[in-house]
Amino acid sequence: MAESVEVLIQASILPNYAHPGDAGADLHAAEALVLAPGTRALVGTGVSIALPDGFAAFVVPRSGLAVKHGITIVNAPGTVDAGYRGEIKVALLNTDLTEPFTIAVGDRIAQLLVMPVARATFIAVDRLPGSQRGEGGFGSTGVQASTTDSAPVPGRTAPQTGDMQ
């Protein structure tokens, strides 16, 4: 399903998909800055959008920035509602505790996913129906695989932080 989204650009770069089939369109920095180790900043993209009713956009981190530089988004995913018309800004966080990260105008800093959304009608009840999961929440299923076919691959180890260049 292809939807058209009106985009008001105050910067020079439209959100764009790097490859056919990509879910996220790249958002680019409209300003230059240096993120000191362990700090965060709100970075403008120069992009405002008009989404159709029934849609929302979600601003998510770029995996390469996260893995290679420790750059993520504080409120990931950031939600852009259909009625919002202001500039999309990205709350970036430098999780690296020793290295600053330099952002130049035009750098790809996040991705934008445009998706249909359903609106729920919330109904107050005295009791919820049961489920197999029940009230099991954070960490309730543990970290170990529950089946033997999820065993680690022989000879393969997880990369160390220094290996992710």
Q: How far apart are CA 137 and CA 131, in angstroms?
A: 13
- Binding-site residue set: 62-64, 75, 79-81
Sequence-ordered list of residues with C-beta below 8 angstroms from that of 38, at least 6 positions apart, any chain? 94, 95, 96, 97
**Quick count: other Cβ atoms within 10 Å of Cβ 110?**
30
Residue 131 covered by a domain: no
The band of 84, judged by pLDDT with boundaries at 50, 70 and 90, is very high
Residue 135 covered by a domain: no
Residue 163 covered by a domain: no
- Binding-site residue set for substrate: 62-64, 75, 79-81
92: pLDDT strictly greater than 60: yes
Q: DSSP state, 119?
A: P
Residue 155 covered by a domain: no
The reported pLDDT for the residue numbered 113 is 97
Nearest-CA neighbor of 65 among 31, 99, 20, 88? 99
77: pLDDT strictly greater than 70: yes
Residue 72 covered by a domain: yes
Q: What is the total count of domains within the chain?
A: 1
Instruction: Write the pLDDT tens digit of every residue in 9-46.
Output: 777 788 999 999 999 999 999 999 999 999 999 999 99
Domain that holds residue 69: 1-117
Instruction: Write the pLDDT tens digit of every residue in 42-70.
Output: 999 999 999 989 999 999 999 999 999 99
Question: Domain of 78: which CATH number?
Answer: 2.70.40.10
